[in-house]
Structure 1
Amino acid sequence: MRKRKLRQDGTRVSEVGLGCWSFGGSYGPTTEAEAHRTLSAALDLGVDFLDTANVYGMGVSENMIGSFLKGDSSRFTIATKAGIWRDPDTGKRGFNNQADYLRKELEKSLSRLGLEHIDLYYIHRRDQDVSVEDLMETLLGFKKDGKIGGIGFSEISPATLRRATAIGPVDAVQSEYSLWTRQPELGMIQTCAELGVAFVPFSPLGRGMFTSVEPEPATFEEGHFRKGTPRFTEPNFSHNLRHIRAYRDLASDLSTAPATLAVAWSLAQGGHLLPIPGTRTAEHLAECVAGSDFPMTAEIMAEIDRKLPVGWAHGDRYTHDQWVGVEGYC
């Protein structure tokens, strides 16, 4: 597994990481044993970069990782996040970037992970009541205290990134980016490259669409993240499925898995990209990791663009309520 730079201090990680949101049950039930099997497979495959958050299963994902690590994080570089709060009883959510709140959430994450230090700490969503300049001072304080190694932001705009880097080093920006979510090409990928910031695409498999198994929205249970998402409701879903079947045919012609091809496409967008496909299973992870070795060519990239031209997908990637907190630009 090749490595790419994650942090401004030169810290390098596997160019394909593992997103651990699904450990928290957002895509269906899972178990600690299954999560541990996937983490073991990650090590065997050369994956040493894990991404989680305090709200993934309301701490469940961090707990599963912590029980696997048993206090030893030497084999993984770990990123987690804070800034979103949720009421488990009402489902109500909001954003909080106040220093006291973030400090308490950081301590809770450290406790669940069984660690004294987190390699990369993201602000999951911006709280517009706190300036990014004040927020950076808070994060730099955590870094000075030895609690975190690097600073990251999720779903921000290029303008916010520039304001943040004027205060101190930002190591990574995480945004949804895949063959059906291309907005980061309108400035974020370029700004990260200019500033030496890693760009971490989450959901590079289109929330399960760019895999060998077609999702069945009718089977999504309450609490399943994709239930009600416009791209997975009709008539959008049927339109999107027709395009993706053509993409799957292309992957078959290339004798590779759709997930492998999607990850390879992400890696080809720039040397500072570190995709973090999410999965609950070791078998699916192996398909994703194979993207690191896929022999991508300009001809294959052009054929992918013909099958899935920019803007082909129907429906928003989030519901109206889920859009709150994502910074827009362009």
Structure 2
Amino acid sequence: MTLPKRKIGARDVTAIGFGAMSFAGFFGPADDDVSMQTMSDLIDTGIDFWDTANIYGMGRSERLIGQFFAANPHASKDVFLATKAGIIPGPPRAFNNSEDYLRAELDASLQRLNRDHVELYYIHRRDQNTPIETLAETMGKLIDEGLIGGWGLSEVSPTTIRRAHAITPVMAVQNEYSLWTRQPELGVLRTCAELGITFVPFSPLARGILSDVDLTPATFEAHDFRKHNPRFIAPNFDDNMPHIRAFRTLAASWGMTAAGLAMAWVLARGDHLIPIPGTRTGAHMRDWLPAMTTALTPAQLAQIDATLPAGWAFGDRYSDEQRPGVEYFA
């Protein structure tokens, strides 16, 4: 099966990428051997846009990817790889976008990844103490030096994107976007389209809730991101589930999984979108791979919107502890 491609920078990559946050156990226990097999499955399937970060397991995700590349050099050449820096884990959480810090973190990431460069380097969260123009100049230097192919921003506003892009063209913007998180529609999607920037939705499956299986928050491990996320805590979780089940029913009526339909909806929002779902096992890819070849009709999109209209979800997408660093805008 030949997977459809979309453009990021000058490169064509699969229309759906892969987010490696799951390798660090953020959404349940992770097994390194299983993660290695998942990467093998990604290569076999053809998914060639992978996304990680320096703080995913404090280097664990990057290290596993580097080990896989060491054992599979051909894969390293084929994969368009993105990583990130800028968050200093807490408590309290802090941010650093200075040139010295970003260079040091990039060097450490490259060592873990068994690479001499990455195709895309994101600022994981913007440090408001560093002017965005200064940050853009720093990233331009890293591009000129061949350490990164391009740069990106995460969880930022349209005005930040425009200011940054005016100094050093931005390759990609990564914000949360799914059927239960629609804020990028307030200008980010349009800004990226106007400027020729790829928009990379993370958590396109709403942190696992847009699936055919009920989640059980009571069983979440202490370090699971969702353990303290408002949308997964009572009474919000119980209020959200009837809407999720209605969406599952709709997907089933069209012969699709909930994950597949949710991903097809994201892809339909524009050709400049490349979502990066995460999975701990290659088997879960089967749920959303068909989305790449699914064209939703206007009538279907309208029915989805009637089932899960913008703003339907109960609870904020972040807790007070999870929110710092995110740029809010209206």
1:206-253 deviations in Å (ceiling 9; x for gaps): 000111121111011111100021100111111110100000001111
* Cα distance between partner residues in 1 of 2:286 and 2:55: 26
Match of 1:130 in 2: 130
Q: CA deviation at 1:2?
A: 0.8
Counterpart in the other structure of 1:68: 68
- Report the secondary structure of 2:167's partner residue: coil
1-side partners of 2:92 and 2:12: how far apart? 37
Which among 75, 88, 93 is matched to residue 85 of structure 1?
Answer: 88
Residue 222 (structure 2) pairs with residue 222 (structure 1): yes
For residues 43 and 266 of structure 2, the distance between their equivalents in structure 1, rounded to whole angstroms, comes to 22
User: What 5-or-longer segments of structure 1 have no aligned partner?
Assistant: none
Structure 2 partner of 1:300? 300
Equivalent AA in structure 2 for residue 84 of structure 1: I
- Deviation at residue 48 of structure 1 after TM alignment: 0.3
User: 1:165 aligns to what?
Assistant: 165
Deviations 1:44-93 (Å, cap 9, x if unpaired)? 22210000000001000001111111173112100000000125xxx432
Residue 6 (structure 1) aligns with: 8
Residues 268 and 295, structure 2, Cα contact 8 Å, conserved in 1? no
What letter is aligned with 1:258?
A: A
| RMSD of aligned alpha carbons | 1.0
Once the two structures are superposed, the pairs formed by residues 150-299 of structure 1 within 5 Å of their partners are 150-299=150-299
Matched, 1:35 2:35: yes
- Alpha-carbon distance, 1:295 to partner: 3.3
Give the secondary structure class of the aligned counterpart of 1:166: helix
TM (norm. structure 1) is: 0.97
Q: Secondary structure at the match of 1:34?
A: helix
Q: Tell me the SS of whatever aligns to 2:105.
A: helix
Output the CA distance in 2 between the equivalents of 1:273 and 1:253. 26
* Alpha-carbon distance in structure 2 between the residues aligned to 1:53 and 1:312: 30
Secondary structure in structure 2 of the residue aligned to 1:321: coil
After superposition, what is the alpha-carbon deviation per residue over 1:104-143, rounded to whole angstroms, capped at 9, x for unaligned?
A: 0000000000000100000000000000000011111111
Give CA-to-partner distance per residue, 1:249-273, whole Å, 9 cap, x none.
Answer: 0111111111111110000000000
Q: For 1:79, what is the secondary structure of its paired residue?
A: strand
State whether residues 155 and 326 of structure 1, in contact with CA within 8 Å, keep that contact through their aligned partners in structure 2.
yes
Q: Which amino acid aligns with 1:3?
A: K
Matched residues, number = 325
**C-alpha distance in structure 2 between counterparts of 1:107 and 1:98, whole Å:** 14
Judge conservation of contact 2:139–2:168 (CA < 8 Å) in 1. Answer: no
TM-score (normalizing by structure 2)? 0.97
Q: How many percent of aligned residue pairs carry the same amino acid?
A: 52
Structure 1: distance between partners of 2:175 and 2:196: 16
Contact between 2:27 and 2:225, CA under 8 Å: does it hold in 1?
A: yes
2: distance between equivalents of 1:141 and 1:313? Answer: 42
Q: Distance in 2 between matches of 1:50 and 1:172?
A: 13
Contact 1:193 1:272 in 2 (8 A): yes
Q: Given that residues 268 and 296 in structure 2 are in contact (C-alpha distance below 8 angstroms), is that contact kept between their aligned partners in structure 1?
A: yes
Output the amino acid matched with 2:247: Y
1:113 maps to what in 2?
113
Kept in 2, the 8 Å contact 1:63–1:112? The answer is yes
> Hey, what's the Cα distance between the residues in 1 that align with 2:305 and 2:259?
16
Q: Which amino acid aligns with 2:49?
A: F
SS of structure 2 residue aligned to 1:74: helix
Kept in 2, the 8 Å contact 1:45–1:286? The answer is no
Which consecutive segments of 4 or more residues in structure 1 shift more than 6 A? none
1:207 aligns to what SS in structure 2? helix
Following TM superposition, by how much is the alpha carbon of 1:28 offset from its aligned partner in structure 2, in angstroms?
Answer: 1.5
